[in-house]
Structure 1
Amino acid sequence: MIRLARLAAYTLIPFELALVTIVLAGVRVPLPVILAAELLALAVVLFEAAVLTGLYRAARRRGAARRAALSEAVRQAVPAKVRLLIAHELKCLTSLGYWIARRKHGIGPGRRGFGYFRGQSTTLMMWLFAMTLEGFAFYLIIPWPVLHKIMLILHVYSIVLVLGVIAAGHVRTHVVGAGVLRIRYSAAFDLSVPLGLVVSARIGAKIHDGGLIRLADDRLDVIVSSQTNVTVHLSEPVTVVRPLGRTGTASVIRLYADDPREFVRALSIPEPAARHGGKEVTP
């Protein structure tokens, strides 16, 4: 039963990862695809809950404390990558609270936040509006009352989740201050770099052909709307944890900021002068 539960949980990874990636990339997804993915997720969650209940009770019978029994049951039944996806959804949902309260996550004394979601937010809100209308139309077309209720629950949750992704993009900004450069992308990625490792930072727009988080050849790309516009060089590589837990290292980081000049200025690293015709020109 445990093996079956883990296998069922693994089926969530491609669906949920694809859904989050597509949403963050601003690609329009047909509502039936979203509802099918969430229906599969609901079925897996219910099955996992039944298995977890049995494992929890067995651990309690062996004398384990409640928290220890629950942790043991989760470790046995839920793969680490699925736990990361669940944590991502929880971060999206909590980001809604920050957004409603008009607060930024991780911003405190001596820390400045720098947005990166300005150009993407409008596209996602338009997509969310179309998704809401499409769900209402499906609700009117389908005649079965039981299916109405299931669709309503899944549709509302899908809307809330997409809102959470948008909210996370606004409240989980890049952060500079208190000796740390924190690079983020919605609730999917979060990297803290000691400011003492930053040796240079320069502005330079680059168009990418896809992807969100890329890590290769000692370089990390955190791409927003197929763009990066700031390149940060470090004195030594830092460990990067990708959204599904895989790790690597990078000493060059390309990212996107809504206000790249102010972002570079906040790093207290002067931008290198541009060269034209053999002469240096300070921008």
Structure 2
Amino acid sequence: MASLGLWVVRRSNGVGDADTAVGYARAQAPTAYGLAFVFVVETVGVSFMLAAYPVAHLVMLLLDLYTVFLVLGLYAAAVTRPHVVGPGELRVRRGARLDLRIPLERIASARYDLRFPDANKSEDGVLDVAIASQTSITIELIQPVTNGSRFGRRVEVHTVRCHADEPQTAVAAIKKLLPIDS
């Protein structure tokens, strides 16, 4: 929900002056706005249906409004927490749930690589950070980095695939900061 405040004032989280922000939220905007619209319509409909029951009306109104703000907050987290290409590291993010920091000296290559990964299959050592069921950048590492999973398990990652709204620009920003011999 803190992302809603950042989104309203048009600020980003964790992007410094020397950093390049790489957005990835554009692909999920239609879904987020569509869900928010459906939940607003549902809120109005339930409000009319429960008008005769003030306690139930208030409870459902609060739950429905929370749902609308939750959907907008999830989208706002994606907008306000972009991937970040900085002088010392690359941060691959997915809203407030993932923030993988990769030191630039560990990156072997970065390239545009459009994929539609299967969410039910995963490769060992490969982290797919898909947005709208697609990834558009593949980053191969010289040395693995450690990523914390959802259940607290730590996983060594040697390849990261993520999505960016403008993948060619993102790859160029990454390559520009890599050492010459990469």
TM-score, length-scaled by structure 1: 0.59
Aligned residue among 151, 162, 169 for 1:255? 162
Is the helix fraction higher in 1 or 2?
Answer: 1
TM-score, length-scaled by structure 2: 0.91
Partner of 2:56: 147
- TM-superposed CA distance for 1:99, in Å, is 0.5
Partner of 2:95: 186
Q: 1 or 2 for the larger relative contact order (CA 8 Å, sep ≥6)? A: 2
RMSD of aligned C-alpha atoms?
Answer: 1.7
State whether residues 229 and 256 of structure 1, in contact with CA within 8 Å, keep that contact through their aligned partners in structure 2. Answer: yes
Partner of 1:231: 138
Is the strand fraction higher in 1 or 2?
Answer: 2
Residue by residue over 1:197-225, the C-alpha shift from the partner in whole angstroms, topping out at 9 and shown as x without a partner, is 111011111112337xx864111110111
Unaligned runs of 5+ in 2: 178-182
% identical aligned pairs? 38
SS in structure 1 at match of 2:150:
coil
Letter in 2 for 1:243: R
Partner of 1:16: none
Partner of 2:42: 134
Matches within 5 A, 1:69-84: none
Q: How far apart are the structure 1 equivalents of 2:76 and 2:149?
A: 21
Q: How far apart are the structure 2 equivalents of 1:185 and 1:151?
A: 30
- TM-superposed CA distance for 1:243, in Å, is 3.1
Unaligned runs of 5+ in 1: 1-92, 271-283
Partner of 2:18: 110
Is 1:163 the counterpart of 2:68? The answer is no
Judged with a 3 Å threshold, the aligned counterparts in structure 2 of structure 1 residues 174 and 215 are, in CA distance, closer, same or farther, namely farther
